[in-house]
Amino acid sequence: MSSTKSICVFCGARSGLRPEYTTAATETGQLIADEGWRLVYGAGDIGLMGDVARAAKTAGGDTLGVMPMHLVNREIAKRDLGQLILTETMHERKKVMFMNCDAIVVLPGGGGSLDEFFEVLTWRQLGLHAKPIFLLDVAGYWQPLLALLDHVIAQGFADETMRSYVEVVTDAPALRVALRKDFSRHNASSE
Ligand code: AMP
């Protein structure tokens, strides 16, 4: 079995308004490749998705893209990935991405990224997995989401533990440190 770690990145199919988002996406792709990890993502060549993948590829990293067939033209499937898996449905896409990763990183994005984030968070809450979930809070982009999670907990609709499943980092160097730490903790506990 391969010991290479795979990082699933959920992020926008658009670039957003602030240049910091693109910078963070590029740095994330780079650091994944630098560490010898594999990027798993939605296979698009547009927005922050394209930035992450291009950076990982340019830095010599391995990449796995997963996309439903009906989005191949709309999200411009990147053709030069290490591996491209085409699925029938959105659900299948999320499942394949999830099954092929050791950690999840959520960069700024829209409804699709939020859907993906909540799916892995709620699965974690239900005890269906123990994969770490990192929110890259670039320029405070995810503060309203974190406030919403706190509100949900404060109003008694979720346990405090839900918040503890989300590891917030503010930039790519901090993400690198947090991922390394998590993987070394995991290696130590499985020895
Ligand atoms: P967005 O964050 O909205 O730019 O979308 C990021 C990625 O999530 C894109 O590849 C979308 O195809 C995908 N996406 C959009 N809606 C959903 C959904 N309901 N479930 C899973 N992925 C989605």
Q: What is the pLDDT of residue 1?
A: 45
Q: Is the CB of 87 under 6 A from ligand 1?
A: no
pLDDT at 188: 72
Task: For residues 85 and 6, give the distance between their C-alpha atoms in angstroms, rounded to a whole number.
Answer: 15
Q: How far is the CA of 112 from the centre of ligand 1 (A)?
A: 3
Q: Report the distance separating Cα 8 and Cα 130, nearest Å.
A: 14
Six-digit token string for 122: 């709620």
Nearest CA to ligand 1 atom 22: 112
CB-based contact 179:8 (threshold 8 Å): no
pLDDT of residue 2: 58
Where do the domains of the chain lie, and which CATH numbers do they carry?
6-185 (3.40.50.450)
Distance CA(67)–CA(80), nearest Å, equals: 14
Rounded-to-integer distance, Cα 24 and Cα 186, Å: 26
Q: What pLDDT sits at residue 186?
A: 77
Dihedral, CA of residue 136, residue 142, residue 145 and residue 150, to nearest 10: 80
Task: Name residues whose C-beta falls within 8 Å of residue 45's C-beta, 6 or more positions apart in sequence.
Answer: 53, 54, 75, 76, 77, 78
State the closest ligand 1 atom to the C-alpha of 68, by its place in the atom list counted from 1: 12
Low pLDDT (below 70) residues in the chain:
1-2, 189-191
Distance 190 CA to ligand 1 centre (A): 34
